[in-house]
């Protein structure tokens, strides 16, 4: 988004003169929504960010928590929505590149990637092309840099046919005392290492800070192109530099390019700097403006004390990395930019890095009433067919077609792999049995119908997923994908989502250690795509051998549902798939019940009473049981009327309601009484539904009557192959 | 102490995984060696691990195959050192013509990561000594260019002389004769697409799978101690 007249006046006041062309370009890049958070800053202050285990909270390129004494987990989320709409392959690939470099800035070793994709209808030709290439972009880039893609979230909705949402997250590991976070000082050298700077991604952040134009070909020059080999070498040389302790501070050249990277360091540390653009290694002849705002990928800003300069150069030479020493910091607090000895820009760093925040207005659109509507639907005549429709919906069915394209095992840490459990579990490989769990969650239909509850439910679902695999949830990062902040009816969704996350995080005592905001997610007609709050959470496990996958394991064990089912079909997958309705009141978030259930699961795991665990979410109770059955290739015989309910009057409500704070557990045959006693002590309602059986059948009964009787093999086929079929 | 070199090219990404597995499942010592520093005489065996050497530019493994390090590998083989190429390492050995055939893009057109069932035929040599004819094991694959191609005449020759590893139940990439890997006739040089370093520990093995990698690592440990 170009600068407004008001902003240009402000710039003239800051400088006391008319800005040069170079200075204007720098302000445009830095004051773009993407880099400056000028519209979102005031609302983001709602989020709880503090806890005793938080080492670095929001504000840096990545957040860091102390997962175990002395061991830091660094993580961050990022969106690459606009580039992916124009050039899905390169857009998604460079999204991965960017988030990995964010993790590297703290000196951490990237150990896992997550992708959270909100994609169009696979049956739409354009959307299908986008899906294929987004997945291929992530696959080619992530696989080549040797960081496993272990988890994520995928959703299909026709509002994303033209403008998909591509969110990626990266998890890093570093010992606490090795985190690179020294204070840069006057005299320190500024090195740019990595790719040559070229004409790609010029003002990419500015491009991401406005709606797509109807002619996307015009935007293609703003999309960056990735070089995963260079990224891999950057990972390798940085790990060596960090190991030797010769580096003071690292910054990624991401959105806003050189301008943003340098001015943010200066502003954060009250420094000035003198840089010489002609010293930078370039791919082609560039003007000073192009050098300042180019977003060429795989470039890092390294800040090094002069005494360590030779050692740093030696390591860069070993890996054959191009680099340039382009200048030094000083005390001036001004960024002075030279090109061939000519001063082309001279700006106070603080003013450049921190634009004035804007208080945006918001109000609910008429559309928001959809989320309050009472829904009347007929009971399906054929319940078995309805069940099959829900299971085969791409939002529910196995995402195997996607995750098998990712190397999810490189690094030999992945204990619970994609599809096996509610969250990925990775071992630390530090000679102990310790590990972490990670998962990403969102539900666009929820956040569209009720952004506050929808975002809160995403936090809760992430929390449940982390608990289900046996971890203790520690912290989250969030990505808020919204429409045009200048339109009050779009901005309302953003405001409500932030407050929803903040409320649920406060209730669950989970800090938010980082995040990102993406605005202007509109189609070519100015309509916002369904807004989404994506949540990525990290939990810790003391012993990864005790981690719980979701597959049924032993015939004869008990199937127990934890938590109450309410008649909450609004916004459900069932309503969408079977009745074609995307309306209604979405499930109510239940933080108190979430905490109680989590406590129960933790106790039961300590007693070794659980064989497997799975949360209940999209698709409801019936879907969750079927998923566990398919994963374990063991049948079930359950009576759904044994589930604890409140005011449920119909079978479809019981089967498909997406009420929160529920889990399905597989309990050791001999431990049922112990489980029932623990639940009673905690005041949690549970129902013993039936048993795991080895007869190759999925049988659901209701008050003695058989309502579902299907071959497991058939259900397996429906669940695992539905997405393959759509993508073939 | 017996020492294994784990060769690292620009873009190699399974080097530390192999070192970890060698150090935790065997008594052998292992070290990552940057390709420019590799000298055959300092070591007792060599592993060329997986990854994307030189970003798969030109063809997978093609550029690494032209480096001086591969000249050293030839020296190593002449000296009788066991050499193992995993995934990209296999592609490099094939590109360097140290093993026959070629590796092409998967038939499905995209990268595939999954566990597969394998059968070992004519096991022989330092890497397969603990395996029996026809034994079935599991390992994960993770590649985009793992379709092994070989013409029928060459295959007939190999099938009577050399150890091979073949896919059972399903052929995940369209390889000729279901080949997942093969060795030189004496078994000294082994190349395979599946990852033995990802299938050597119970923790990482999915329920119901047979961790196949452990046989490879235990074999080389035994072979280097007692000969083969």
pLDDT per residue as tens digits for the range B171-200: 999 999 999 999 999 999 999 999 999 999
* Cα–Cα–Cα angle for B6, B10, B11, rounded to 5 degrees: 90
- Report strand pairing: B164-168 vs B112-121: antiparallel
Residue A8, SS3 per DSSP: helix
- Report strand pairing: B147-149 vs B102-104: antiparallel
Q: What are phi and psi of B138, to 5 degrees?
A: -115, 145
Residue A212 has what pLDDT?
61
Determine the residue among A100, A134, A143, A427 to mutate to test chain B binding: the one whose Cβ has the most chain B Cβ atoms within 10 Å: A143
| Residues of B involved in catalysis | 87, 195, 197
Residue A189, SS3 per DSSP: strand
Looking at the partner chain, which of B17, B114, B207 has a beta carbon nearest the beta carbon of A411? B17
**Touching check for A139 and chain B: CB below 8 Å?**
yes
Looking at the partner chain, which of A233, A411, A429 has a beta carbon nearest the beta carbon of B10? A233
**Touching check for A406 and chain B: CB below 8 Å?**
yes
Looking at the partner chain, which of B13, B21, B110 has a beta carbon nearest the beta carbon of A146? B13
- Superfamily, domain A1-31+180-355: PurM-like C-terminal domain (3.90.650.10)
**Touching check for B57 and chain A: CB below 8 Å?**
yes
**Touching check for B38 and chain A: CB below 8 Å?**
no
Whether the complex's predicted ipTM surpasses the cut of 0.85: yes
Residue A331, SS3 per DSSP: coil
Nearest residue in chain B measured CA to CA from A430:
B20
Q: How many Å lie between the alpha carbon of B36 and the closest alpha carbon of chain A?
A: 9
CB contact under 8 A, B17 and A412: yes
Determine the residue among A230, A400, A407 to mutate to test chain B binding: the one whose Cβ has the most chain B Cβ atoms within 10 Å: A407
Determine the residue among B11, B114, B138 to mutate to test chain A binding: the one whose Cβ has the most chain A Cβ atoms within 10 Å: B11
Rounded Cα distance, A119 and A158, in Å: 8
Residue A431 has what pLDDT?
93
Nearest to A511 by CA among A43, A57, A3: A57
Cβ atoms of residues A28 and A3 within 8 Å: yes
| Chain B residues with CB-CB distance to A319 below 8 A | 10
* Cα–Cα–Cα angle for B103, B105, B107, rounded to 5 degrees: 115
| Chain A residues with CB-CB distance to B52 below 8 A | 143-144, 146, 228-229, 232
Residue A95 has what pLDDT?
95
CB contact under 8 A, A144 and B55: yes
Nearest to A141 by CA among A79, A254, A33, A227: A227
Rounded Cα distance, A70 and B2, in Å: 34
Nearest residue in chain A measured CA to CA from B15:
A411
Looking at the partner chain, which of A228, A319, A404 has a beta carbon nearest the beta carbon of B112? A404
Q: How many Å lie between the alpha carbon of B154 and the closest alpha carbon of chain A?
A: 31
Domain layout of chain B by residue ranges = 3-226
C-alpha A585 chain-centroid distance? 25
**Touching check for A407 and chain B: CB below 8 Å?**
yes
**Touching check for A374 and chain B: CB below 8 Å?**
no
Residue A192 has what pLDDT?
97
CB contact under 8 A, A410 and B52: no
**Touching check for B201 and chain A: CB below 8 Å?**
yes
Assess whether A34 carries a catalytic annotation: yes
Buried-exposed string B181-209: b where 16+ CB fall within 10 A, e elsewhere = bbbbbebbbbbbbbbbbbbbbebbbbeeb
Determine the residue among A410, A418, A631 to mutate to test chain B binding: the one whose Cβ has the most chain B Cβ atoms within 10 Å: A410
**Touching check for A542 and chain B: CB below 8 Å?**
no
Sign, CA dihedral A341-A342-A345-A350, equals: positive
E runs forming strands in A578-660: 610-615, 635-639
Rounded Cα distance, A626 and A631, in Å: 9
Residue A210 has what pLDDT?
62
CB contact under 8 A, B144 and A143: yes
pLDDT in tens, B102-159: 999 999 999 999 999 999 999 999 999 999 999 999 999 999 999 999 999 999 999 9
| Chain A residues with CB-CB distance to B195 below 8 A | 409
**Touching check for B17 and chain A: CB below 8 Å?**
yes
Cβ atoms of residues A530 and A155 within 8 Å: no
**Touching check for A314 and chain B: CB below 8 Å?**
no
Rounded Cα distance, A249 and A589, in Å: 41
E runs forming strands in A520-655: 532-541, 558-562, 610-615, 635-639
Q: At what angle do helices A591-606 and A488-508 cross, to 10 degrees?
A: 40
| Chain B residues with CB-CB distance to A416 below 8 A | none
Residue A721 has what pLDDT?
96
Residue from A80, A82, A490, A716 carrying the catalytic annotation: A80
Determine the residue among B20, B62, B89, B111 to mutate to test chain A binding: the one whose Cβ has the most chain A Cβ atoms within 10 Å: B111
User: For residue A318, with 0-12 CB atoms within 10 Å meaning exposed, 13-18 middle and 19 or more buried, which class applies?
Assistant: middle
Q: How many Å lie between the alpha carbon of A231 and the closest alpha carbon of chain B?
A: 9
**Touching check for A480 and chain B: CB below 8 Å?**
no
**Touching check for A144 and chain B: CB below 8 Å?**
yes
Which CATH class for the B3-226 domain? alpha beta
CB contact under 8 A, B13 and A232: yes
CB contact under 8 A, B142 and A143: yes
Cβ atoms of residues A516 and A79 within 8 Å: yes
CB contact under 8 A, A407 and B111: yes
Nearest to B193 by CA among B211, B209, B215, B178: B178
Q: What are phi and psi of A177, to 5 degrees?
A: -75, -10
Percentage with pLDDT > 90 across chain B: 99
CB contact under 8 A, B113 and A405: yes
**Touching check for A448 and chain B: CB below 8 Å?**
no
Domain layout of chain A by residue ranges = 1-31+180-355, 380-397+548-728
**Touching check for A412 and chain B: CB below 8 Å?**
yes
Looking at the partner chain, which of B10, B111, B198 has a beta carbon nearest the beta carbon of A143? B111
Question: Looking at domain A380-397+548-728, which of 1.10.10.10, 3.30.70.1290, 3.90.1150.10, 3.90.650.10 is its CATH number?
Answer: 3.90.650.10
Helix ranges (DSSP H) in A76-224: 81-86, 88-104, 125-144, 204-207
Cβ atoms of residues A672 and A688 within 8 Å: yes
Residue A43 has what pLDDT?
94
**Touching check for A145 and chain B: CB below 8 Å?**
yes
Question: Which of the residues in chain A have pLDDT under 50?
Answer: none
CB contact under 8 A, B52 and A144: yes
């Amino acid at each position: 988004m170009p600068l407004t007249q008001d902003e240009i006046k402000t710039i003239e006041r800051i400088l006391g003169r008319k800005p040069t062309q170079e200075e204007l370009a720098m302000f445009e890049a830095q004051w773009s929504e993407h880099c400056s958070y000028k519209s979102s800053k005031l609302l983001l202050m709602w989020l709880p960010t503090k806890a005793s285990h938080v080492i670095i909270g929001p504000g840096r390129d990545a957040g860091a928590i102390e997962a175990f004494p002395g061991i830091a987990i660094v993580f961050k989320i990022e969106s690459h929505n606009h580039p992916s709409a124009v050039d899905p392959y390169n857009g998604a690939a460079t999204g991965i590149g960017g988030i990995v470099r964010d993790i590297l800035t703290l000196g951490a070793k990237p150990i896992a990637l997550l992708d959270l994709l909100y994609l169009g209808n696979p049956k739409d030709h354009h959307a299908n092309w986008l899906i294929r290439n987004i997945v291929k972009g992530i696959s080619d880039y992530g696989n080549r840099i040797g960081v496993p893609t272990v988890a994520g979230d995928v959703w299909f909705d026709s509002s994303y046919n033209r403008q998909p949402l591509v969110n990626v997250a990266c998890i890093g590991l570093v010992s606490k005392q090795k985190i690179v976070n020294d204070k840069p000082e006057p005299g320190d050298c500024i090195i740019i290492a990595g790719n040559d700077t070229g004409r790609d991604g010029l003002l990419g952040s500015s491009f991401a800070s406005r709606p797509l134009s109807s002619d996307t070909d015009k935007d293609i020059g703003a999309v960056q192109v990735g070089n995963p080999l260079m990224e891999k070498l950057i990972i390798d040389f940085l790990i060596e530099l960090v190991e030797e302790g010769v580096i003071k501070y690292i910054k990624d050249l991401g959105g806003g390019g050189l301008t943003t990277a340098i001015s943010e360091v200066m502003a954060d540390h009250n420094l000035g700097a003198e840089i010489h653009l002609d010293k930078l290694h370039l791919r082609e002849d560039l003007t000073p403006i192009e050098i300042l705002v180019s977003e060429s990928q795989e470039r890092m800003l390294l800040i090094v004390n002069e005494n360590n300069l030779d050692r740093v150069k030696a390591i860069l030479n070993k890996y054959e990395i191009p680099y340039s020493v382009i200048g030094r910091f000083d005390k001036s607090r001004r960024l002075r930019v030279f090109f061939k000895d000519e001063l082309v820009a001279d700006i106070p760093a603080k003013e450049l890095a921190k634009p004035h925040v804007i208080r945006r207005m918001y109000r609910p659109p008429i559309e928001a009433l959809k989320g309050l509507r009472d829904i009347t639907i007929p009971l399906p005549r054929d319940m078995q067919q309805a069940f099959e429709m829900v299971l085969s919906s791409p939002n529910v069915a196995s995402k195997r077609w996607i995750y098998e394209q990712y190397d999810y095992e490189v690094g030999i840490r992945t204990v619970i792999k994609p599809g096996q459990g509610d969250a990925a579990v990775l071992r630390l490989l530090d000679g102990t049995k310790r590990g972490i769990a990670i998962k990403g969650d969102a539900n666009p239909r929820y956040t569209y119908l009720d952004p506050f509850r929808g975002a809160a439910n995403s936090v809760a679902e992430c929390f449940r997923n982390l608990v289900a695999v046996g971890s203790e949830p520690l912290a989250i990062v969030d990505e808020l994908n919204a429409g045009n902040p200048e339109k009050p009816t779009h901005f309302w969704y953003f405001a409500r989502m932030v407050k929803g996350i903040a409320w649920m995080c406060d209730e669950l005592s989970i800090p938010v250690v980082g995040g990102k905001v993406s605005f202007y997610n509109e189609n070519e007609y100015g309509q916002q795509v369904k807004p989404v709050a994506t949540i990525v959470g990290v939990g810790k496990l003391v012993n990864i051998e005790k981690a719980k996958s979701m597959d049924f394991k032993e015939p004869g064990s008990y199937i127990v549902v934890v938590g109450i089912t309410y008649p909450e079909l609004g916004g459900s997958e069932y309503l969408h798939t079977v009745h074609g309705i995307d309306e209604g009141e979405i499930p109510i978030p239940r933080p108190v019940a979430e905490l109680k259930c989590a406590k129960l699961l933790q106790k039961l795991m300590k007693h070794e009473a659980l064989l497997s665990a799975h949360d209940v979410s999209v698709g409801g109770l019936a879907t969750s049981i079927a998923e566990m059955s398919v994963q374990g290739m063991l049948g079930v015989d359950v009576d759904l009327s044994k589930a604890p309910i409140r005011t449920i009057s119909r079978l479809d409500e019981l089967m498909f309601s997406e009420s929160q704070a529920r889990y399905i557990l597989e309990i050791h045959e001999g431990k049922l009484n112990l489980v029932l006693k623990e639940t009673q002590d905690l005041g949690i309602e549970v129902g013993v539904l039936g048993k795991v059986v080895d007869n190759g059948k999925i049988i659901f009964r209701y008050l003695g009557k058989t309502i579902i009787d299907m071959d497991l093999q058939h259900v397996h086929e429906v669940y695992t192959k539905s997405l393959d079929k759509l993508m073939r | 102490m017996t020492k294994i070199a784990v060769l690292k090219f620009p873009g190699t990404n399974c080097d530390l995984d192999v070192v970890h597995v060698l150090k935790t499942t065997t008594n052998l010592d292992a070290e990552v060696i940057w390709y420019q520093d590799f000298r055959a005489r300092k070591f007792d065996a060599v592993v060329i691990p997986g990854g994307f050497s030189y970003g798969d530019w030109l063809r997978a493994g093609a550029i690494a195959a032209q480096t001086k390090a591969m000249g050293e590998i030839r020296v190593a083989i002449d000296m009788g050192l066991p050499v193992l190429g995993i995934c990209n390492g296999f592609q490099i050995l094939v590109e360097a013509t140290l093993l026959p055939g070629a590796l092409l893009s998967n038939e499905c057109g995209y990268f595939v990561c999954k566990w597969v069932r394998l059968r070992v035929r004519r096991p022989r040599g330092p890497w397969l000594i603990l395996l029996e004819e026809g034994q079935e094991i599991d390992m994960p694959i993770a590649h985009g260019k793992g379709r092994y191609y070989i013409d029928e005449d060459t295959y007939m020759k190999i099938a009577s002389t050399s150890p091979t590893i073949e896919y059972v139940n399903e052929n995940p990439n369209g390889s000729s004769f279901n080949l997942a890997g093969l060795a030189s006739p004496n078994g000294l040089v082994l190349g395979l697409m599946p990852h033995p370093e990802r299938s050597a520990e119970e923790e990482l093995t999915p329920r119901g799978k047979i961790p196949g990698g452990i046989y490879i690592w235990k074999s080389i440990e035994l072979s280097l101690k007692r000969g083969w």
